[in-house]
Chain A
Amino acid sequence: MAPDVATPPPHSKRVQAWVYAIMNPLIESLGREIRLLSEGNLSWRSYSRRCEYIRPIREYIESSQWPNYEDFIGDQLNARFREHLTRHDHQVSEVESAAARLFIGLTDSNEFQKQVEDSLERYVSAARAKPQYPDLGTTSDLAKVVAEYLINRTSVLPGHYMTHNFWEDYRGHFEHYHNPPSFQELDQAAAALNDTSKGLLADLEDHRHYFCVTYDIPAAPIPIEKSFSADAYLV
């Protein structure tokens, strides 16, 4: 009699591949994503127009494991994730687009440019008495950096960054830009993504637990100690 291919057997290697190569990296990455979103840090970069640490689902999985990902989303046991995963990726794209529109809006705004110019003038003036204040270049370059900091709600920069002192001294001059309506679209897109990611994370954790119990597999691979006994040579 042919085996029942629809139901994996206990200790199924296929289910282990789903848990170890797909679900575990997604659980780790979504946890990071939710933490960043809850801090308002989108890790958005103007040079790439993308969020550096908030990515479409497939990018959280090692490329050599993409066949296992296809298998995971194609199997009936995991059918409930399909729509959820697609929605996540669509919302990442929405966040990135909203951030890019906001970036263009800010850097094209005369009021914003003027604000950066004024702050830079004050900084340059202060720098005469503070030799540790580095040269920050032109207003136009600095405006791009400030817009990126605002989008990522950057509060404190590491002390060795060139813009550390500028941002410490003048961050407050730009905080009103976080008020609606300028940030409304981005905030809504980020909040929607945060809700989806939280739901997805909880579902994945439940599903992993179900697989571990049902197929009697550990939640993470157990390192196998090297053995020099004859068993080590048995295949």
Chain B
Amino acid sequence: MRMPTSFEGSSCRELLILDTGPIRELVLFHAVDRFRFERLRSDLRFISNPESYRTCTQFIASFRRKTTSASIVAELYRWIRETDPKGQARLWNRVYEDFQNMGMDEEVVRLVEMDLRLVVTFGPVDVSLLELARRHADHNPVLLTIDRALQGECQKAGLHVSLVQEVTLMRR
């Protein structure tokens, strides 16, 4: 019998903002585990077995809403176009299905809305996520990423942030 994760049964949180890394890991693991695209296995970094996948998906499910920025979709495109051309349509298909099945929202953050100093330091993709967190501050958002530098910046700004590599270790 499986052990419950620490966030199962906890009260529902409102908003999760997803960075590229967690989306890529979810898509890859599903493709490898469910559809046996073994060549993608070496690309997995933090979600490498069914238990870590289950823990991470349960964490995501503990939020009522999930959102990301349009810049993240552009970053997914940059990742997919570097993969084997034969598999690109299938990866996009997985991204579509994951977005649809998790009810992912997608928001545009205009460059001129971003802090120029932060854009210079972190690039517009990471800053779009910080801006989303600021935009939805009333909903106490949590940002999910695999990027420790972004985590540090979020913490400095007083934002809640979780790393996939830490979420997958969370057990009761």
> Residues of A with Cβ closer than 8 Å to B?
25, 31-32, 35-36, 43, 52-53, 62, 130-132, 134, 157-164
Looking across the interface, which residue of chain A has its beta carbon closest to that of B9?
A132
Contact check, A161 vs B101: say whether CB atoms are below 8 A apart: yes
* Majority-rule SS of A interface residues: loop
Given contacts A35-B36, A53-B35, contact A158 B103 (CB under 8 A): no
Contact check, A132 vs B35: say whether CB atoms are below 8 A apart: no
Chain A residues, CB < 8 A from B61: 132, 159-160, 164
Chain B residues, CB < 8 A from A161: 101-102
Chain A residues, CB < 8 A from B12: 130-132
CB < 8 Å neighbour of B62 from A36, A132, A158, A162: A132
> Could you mark each residue 29-64 of chain B with 1 if its beta carbon is under 8 Å from any beta carbon of chain A, else 0?
010000111000000000000000110111011101
Contact check, A134 vs B64: say whether CB atoms are below 8 A apart: yes
Taking the nearest CB of chain A, how far is it from the CB of B138, in angstroms?
A: 17
Can you name 29 A-B residue pairings with CB atoms under 8 Å?
A: A25-B86, A32-B37, A35-B36, A52-B90, A53-B35, A62-B85, A62-B86, A130-B12, A131-B12, A131-B64, A132-B12, A132-B61, A132-B62, A134-B64, A157-B101, A158-B57, A158-B101, A159-B57, A159-B58, A160-B56, A160-B57, A160-B60, A160-B61, A160-B66, A161-B101, A162-B101, A162-B102, A162-B103, A163-B101
Chain B residues, CB < 8 A from A53: 35, 90
Chain B residues, CB < 8 A from A43: 35
Looking across the interface, which residue of chain B has its beta carbon closest to that of A48?
B93
Chain A residues, CB < 8 A from B35: 32, 36, 43, 53
A163 to B26, CA, bound (A): 17
Contact check, A160 vs B64: say whether CB atoms are below 8 A apart: no
Looking across the interface, which residue of chain A has its beta carbon closest to that of B12?
A131
A60 to B11, CA, bound (A): 46
Chain B residues, CB < 8 A from A160: 26, 56-58, 60-61, 66, 101-102
Contact check, B36 vs A132: say whether CB atoms are below 8 A apart: no
The 3 A-B pairs at the shortest CB distance, nearest first, are namely A159-B57, A131-B12, A160-B60
Taking the nearest CB of chain A, how far is it from the CB of B26, in angstroms?
A: 7
A31 to B37, CA, bound (A): 11
Taking the nearest CB of chain A, how far is it from the CB of B67, in angstroms?
A: 13
CB < 8 Å neighbour of A32 from B36, B54, B66, B102: B36
Looking across the interface, which residue of chain B has its beta carbon closest to that of A137?
B103
Given contacts A52-B93, A160-B57, contact A134 B62 (CB under 8 A): no
A157 to B54, CA, bound (A): 10
A230 to B147, CA, bound (A): 43
Looking across the interface, which residue of chain A has its beta carbon closest to that of B94?
A52
Taking A62-B85, A160-B66 as given, write out 19 further A-B residue pairs in contact, using a Cβ cutoff of 8 Å, ordered by the A residue number.
Answer: A32-B36, A32-B37, A36-B35, A43-B35, A53-B35, A53-B90, A130-B12, A131-B11, A132-B12, A134-B103, A158-B30, A158-B101, A159-B57, A159-B58, A160-B57, A160-B61, A160-B101, A160-B102, A162-B101
